[in-house]
Chains A and B, each alone.
Chain A
Amino acid sequence: MAEMLQPKNQNLRIEKTEYRLVFEKTGRARYISHLDLMRCFQRLFKRAGAPLWYTQGFNPHAYLMFPLALPLGTSSSVEILDIALTEPLGYDELCEKVNACAPEGLRLVSAAAPVMKHTEIAFAEYEVSFEQDGTEGSVLGQRFSDFLAQEKIEVEKRTKKRGVNLVDIRPHICLLSLSSEGAHADAGLRLPAGSEFNLNTNVVMEAFESFMGSSLDRICTKRTKILTKSLENFI
């Protein structure tokens, strides 16, 4: 089986053009898991006739990279996807081609050359809208600010080595806005994000639920910004 030991793409074009894409994930597409999203985009570029660059080696795979995962169910219009193509395509052209064959809820917003390194991602901002049957939005909002007024908010965190740990997340939560309308309360939150320390909104909302001693009936979450340490937009 000697001939099988050669990389499949040995005569591949090495030149590549890198792109940083900003995309939207809304509606039904919110339920696509991170792993599935990878495959979905891969097929999407194929359909769009945008030739993806393949890594070299014995197990070549298309180069696609999401620097920051989006939790299942959260919508966003600021998601980042890095790709490389073997043939350069204009930024607008690439977006148009891909959007023409994208499924409902996935849409490229813009394309550009990458500027920053993935490790520069430090924060993300969210809008969380939540409801509880039988409770006014304004009451719920008040409860939320009571919740944040605590000195400490301890949550359990599982680690591989030390089992369950208690972590205080209060210092990491930055409340940007809080309002209510009718049945729902809306909170703007800035939370740490990225490879070093990541705090998801569901951890915050679960802590809020246990603070209240009852669960919420509807939570809608939207990611609105991905930021660097100095709070610049990640580009």
Chain B
Amino acid sequence: MEEIRNKLEQLLLKTQKPARYIGGELGSVTKDKSRVDVRFAFCFPDVYDVGMSHLGMKILYGLKNAVPNYWCERVFMPEKDLEALMRENNIPLYALESLDPIKDFDFIGFTLQYELSFTNVLEMLDLAGLPVYARDRKGLTPIVVGGGPCVCNPEPIAPFFDLFILGEGEEVNLELMRLYEQMKPQHPTKEQFLREAAKIEGIYVPQFYDVTYNEDGTVAAITPNVPEAKPKIKKRVISDFDHAYYPDSFVVPFTSIVHDRVVVEVLRGCIRGCRFCQAGFIYRPFREKSINTIAGQTRTLCEQTGYEEVSLSSLSTSDHTRITELLTTLSDYTDNENINLSLPSLRIDTMSKEIVDRIAAVRKSGLTFAPEAGTQRLRDVINKNLTEEEILRTCRLAFSEGYQTVKLYFMLGLPDETDEDIEGIANLAQKVVDLYYETPKEQRGKSVQVSLSCATFVPKPFTPFEFEPQALPDEIRRKQGHLLDCIKSKKIKVSYHQMNVSVLEGVLARGDRRLADTIYCAWKKGCTLDSWDEHFRFDLWQEAFEECRTDTAFYANRRRAYDETAPWSHLDYLVSHEFFVRENKKAHEAKTTRNCAEGCSGCGIKKECGGVYCG
């Protein structure tokens, strides 16, 4: 530690925002090494400012450190300026609390939140001074583990990891560390340890599975090669969510980060079943915390951190069964304490006006809707339950109160999308603009701006659209052009996401193990921080595709048969394959499926998982 610290001190002043690289923030946990038995380096494969905003890391950091003889520390991807200085001065990747090199830790854990962070994993392993391929790391430690949503198809990065954790981590992380603590004194080999670990539910050890391929390139079979490996690995679910571990303290950064506030998770899972949304399926079933629990956690964290803003986190906060009562209780507390309450995923159309008025962030940020598709027909295809009337009704109310900006989110390239659907986007935006001009002058604000944000649809595993081809870049470009042609008002602004990013996402999301060498090749060429526009090098990725003979269309742009063996077919996220097939068929008939609150649709989740509506 002293050595790294001394070297760092001379270099930090040469970097942007050095306080990100030296730890010591309030709430960070330091322990006496001589009393610690298991050390865990929790790596977020992106820069500090992004990683520190991530809720999952806060939960697992608190959870592991609550065990006296376990020590979990934080590690982030350095920006390019520090990365260059570290390599120049032989500083290995270190953990922020102890400033010790992470290659000496027992576990190195990565949370995999998006495909574009894959090259960062390689970069961080390399900066740590470790071989990136698991097969080249022969000793027992460090054991490199991965968790998070991308683990539902970890195949493209499987060769870099020793094991993956499927589903929710609160219980299984501790089970894994306990197993290690028990076995460590006997000095097992890595294989001996991994075989034992594979017996724990939710743990997937990729090297214990052989993958074979058909002549057409599709997967033929995924077969366990040791007796401990189960044919199907089930994700973990916390069934008693109200009593699940939640941290009573957060690390409070010195520098400002993306989400710099208290975050309280109010519910997990989503009832809605939008067919494009992976989170909506892999986090099922819908479970919620009681008002008491939420209020208590809010108070504790506000007091511990000193933050003046608290945000409720969930996929759709208004689906809490007692939302009005919850917001009333919370705003009574926050108003009193001069704390802002913000609700990022609130459907205001379902809320009473008094409640909406009380919530500062809604007032500040203007109106946001995510219709995702331009016509009711296409919204039925994707099962997005938001009607034009609802949007217009809320806009009318808002304009009469002086709101001036409306933001609408759409996706281009959805299954069965026609030009009429594209025109529908422009029409809807125009209707919103017209509505503003229909509002009496003395009520409405000075001007209006409608922003359309158009992403490219990326089909994801464990959704009803996992079988769908992703639209080709040229087709998306044509659709974008058509949309622009249809827009007549200067009050409407359109923004697109970088399309090449979606192309890469599309390939990685449904890729198989053979892609690992492509990822390695792209990283070797210098691809890192791919999620940052200024660092994204699609040209290098294309070189890598070519050199590794990767057919991107095979992964992204082909329709997959219902009975094809998917690269992720040995992983079980509890929602059944039959359900996805059924939903896919209904999508093509433009038929909607009711949400879980209206009635269970039998997606395959068992009642024992604790879902509010299941069974």
Contacts and interface: CB of A to CB of B under 8 A. Distances in A.
Interface of A: 1, 4, 9, 27-29, 31-33, 36-37, 39-40, 42-47, 54, 72-73, 101-105, 217-218
Given A32-B19, A47-B305, A218-B10, 16 more contacts: A1-B401, A1-B445, A28-B22, A31-B19, A33-B17, A33-B255, A36-B255, A37-B254, A40-B252, A42-B306, A44-B306, A46-B307, A47-B26, A72-B18, A105-B24, A217-B10
B306 A47 contact: yes
A4, A101, A103, A105, most chain B CB atoms within 10 A: A103
Contact of B254 (A36, A54, A73, A217): A36
Nearest to B302: A46
14 contacts: A1-B445, A27-B24, A29-B24, A31-B19, A31-B21, A33-B17, A33-B254, A36-B19, A36-B255, A43-B308, A47-B26, A47-B303, A47-B306, A103-B25
Contact of A39 (B23, B256, B363): B256
Nearest to B21: A31
A31 B306 contact: no
Given A31-B18, A46-B308, A72-B13, A36 B24 contact: no
B82 interface: no
Contact of A103 (B10, B26, B256, B445): B26
Given A36-B254, A43-B252, A73 B304 contact: no
B12 interface: yes
B224 interface: no
A121 B306 CA distance: 31
Interface string B334-348: 000010000000000
A101 B26 CA distance: 8
Contacts of A102: 26
Contacts of B22: 28, 31
B402 interface: yes
A16 to B, nearest CB: 16
Given A28-B23, A29-B24, A31-B22, A43 B305 contact: yes
A164 B515 CA distance: 54
B306 A46 contact: yes
Contacts of B17: 33
Contacts of B24: 27-29, 103-105
Nearest first, the 6 closest Cβ-Cβ pairs linking A and B are A43-B306, A28-B24, A46-B306, A1-B402, A47-B306, A103-B26
Contacts of A33: 17, 19, 254-255
A142 to B, nearest CB: 23
Contacts of B13: 72-73
A218 B172 CA distance: 46
B404 to A, nearest CB: 10
Interface in B144-181: none
A73 B445 CA distance: 48
Contacts of B303: 47
Interface in B302-341: 303-308, 338
* Chain B interface mostly: loop
Contact of A36 (B28, B256, B306, B445): B256
Contacts of B338: 9, 54
A212 B578 CA distance: 77
Nearest to B357: A3
Contacts of A54: 338
A32 B12 contact: no
A37 B253 CA distance: 11
A105 B5 CA distance: 15
B52 to A, nearest CB: 13
Contacts of B363: 4
A33 B307 CA distance: 18
Contacts of B402: 1
A102 B305 CA distance: 11
Contacts of A103: 24-26, 28, 254
A45 B254 contact: no
Contacts of A105: 24
A218 B9 CA distance: 9
A128 B161 CA distance: 48
A223 B410 CA distance: 55
Contacts of A29: 24
B24 to A, nearest CB: 3
A107 B21 CA distance: 21
B19 A47 contact: no
Contacts of A36: 19, 254-256
B222 to A, nearest CB: 47
A33 B23 CA distance: 14
B254 A40 contact: yes
A92 B504 CA distance: 59
Interface in B245-270: 252, 254-256
A113 to B, nearest CB: 25
Nearest to A8: B338
A47 B308 contact: no
A70 B260 CA distance: 24
Contact of A43 (B28, B307, B445): B307
A40 B26 CA distance: 9
A66 to B, nearest CB: 15
Contact of B306 (A4, A45, A73): A45
A27 to B, nearest CB: 7
Contacts of A40: 26, 252, 254
A37 B25 CA distance: 12
A218 B19 CA distance: 19
A4 B338 CA distance: 16
A36 B18 CA distance: 11
Contacts of B308: 43, 46
B18, B24, B252, B363, most chain A CB atoms within 10 A: B24
Given A1-B401, A27-B24, A31-B19, A73 B12 contact: yes
Nearest to A60: B338
B252 to A, nearest CB: 6
A60 to B, nearest CB: 9
Given A36-B254, A39-B256, A47 B304 contact: yes
B98 to A, nearest CB: 12
B11 to A, nearest CB: 11
Nearest to A218: B10
A54 B338 CA distance: 11
B482 to A, nearest CB: 37
A104 to B, nearest CB: 4
B177 to A, nearest CB: 26
B439 to A, nearest CB: 13
Interface in B1-60: 10, 12-13, 17-19, 21-26, 28
